[in-house]
């Protein structure tokens, strides 16, 4: 039988399964906590720290990342206390300074009440990557390929293929592109070719034997063929015609 704990989130008494995180439980109860680097299909990572909440025990309180912190018996959680809001605004200001032209970050900042960063304009960058590692983790944990990783330190930190060479392990599935919250991984399908600009790779696309449309990179289909025992028709026909 599942063990339950009782905690309070924003003054609501809640029973939750032991082992779940504060974020899991809050979202399940319809309590909104913003995130950028969280996806329920992936292991929590705690990179963006937007999901920070305040936990209180007696006279002491501290901020924790709710995507990593497990619920506990008697825990008191505040998801929007003045301390949480101030911390979240500061994080969003930093993101906005790094990604000053990115629409997703601009919209998020507006929602959180940050009009513009309080830094001087020479400190603003025009980077679209927030280093959330969703792309890296998806490639590794979901696709099972590990074609890209976070490299370098400090201001030079970035996502890249090994040795900054074309990503030789990439199968062209596009999962990293779809999951990137800021839309900074550029992929194009032109005729029979898929190009992923960030990873410097190109793939030949397979044509559907029914409708004639190009639908998936041959490398991706070959990868799935090696992993799963599926009928040949799956590899010759696009999802719409299957
Ligand atoms: S497109 Fe390449 S890098 Fe992106 S998830 Fe797929 S295999 Fe990984
Ligand atoms: S490329 Fe996108 S998904 Fe990958 S770390 Fe940067 S923002 Fe996150």
What share of the chain in percent tops pLDDT 90? 91
Which ligand has an atom closest to residue 135 CA?
2
The per-residue pLDDT of the chain, averaged, comes to: 95
64-98 pLDDT per residue, tens: 999 999 999 999 999 999 999 999 999 999 999 99
Rg over CA atoms, the chain: 22
Overall pTM surpassing 0.85 (yes/no): yes
Q: Is 52 in the pocket of ligand 1 (CB under 6 A)?
A: no
Q: Can you tell me the mean pLDDT for 187-202?
A: 98
Cα 107 to ligand 1 centroid, rounded to whole Å: 27
Please choose from 160, 184, 196, 220 the residue to mutate so as to test ligand 1's pocket, defined by most ligand atoms within 8 A of CB: 196
More confident residue, 154 or 8: 8
């Amino acid at each position: 039988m599942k063990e339950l704990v009782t905690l309070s989130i924003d003054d609501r008494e809640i029973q939750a399964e032991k082992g779940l995180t504060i974020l899991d439980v809050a979202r399940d109860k319809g309590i909104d906590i913003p995130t950028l680097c969280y996806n329920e299909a992936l292991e929590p990572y705690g990179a963006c720290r937007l999901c920070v909440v305040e936990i209180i025990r007696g006279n002491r309180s501290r901020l924790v990342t709710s995507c990593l912190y497990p619920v506990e018996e008697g825990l008191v959680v505040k998801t929007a206390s003045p301390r949480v809001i101030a911390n979240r605004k500061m994080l969003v200001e930093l993101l906005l300074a790094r990604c000053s032209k990115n629409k997703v970050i601009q919209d998020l900042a507006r929602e959180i009440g940050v009009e513009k960063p309080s830094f001087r304009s020479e400190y603003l960058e025009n980077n679209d990557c927030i280093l959330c590692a969703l792309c890296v983790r998806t490639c590794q944990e979901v696709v099972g390929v590990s074609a890209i990783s976070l490299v370098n330190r400090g201001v030079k930190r970035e996502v890249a293929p090994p040795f900054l060479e074309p990503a030789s392990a990439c199968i062209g599935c596009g999962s990293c592109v779809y999951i990137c919250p800021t839309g900074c991984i550029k992929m194009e399908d032109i005729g029979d070719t898929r190009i992923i600009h960030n990873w410097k790779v190109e793939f030949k696309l397979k044509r559907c034997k029914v409708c004639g449309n190009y639908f998936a990179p041959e490398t991706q289909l070959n990868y799935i063929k090696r992993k799963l025992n599926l009928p040949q028709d799956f590899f010759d026909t696009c999802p719409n015609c299957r």
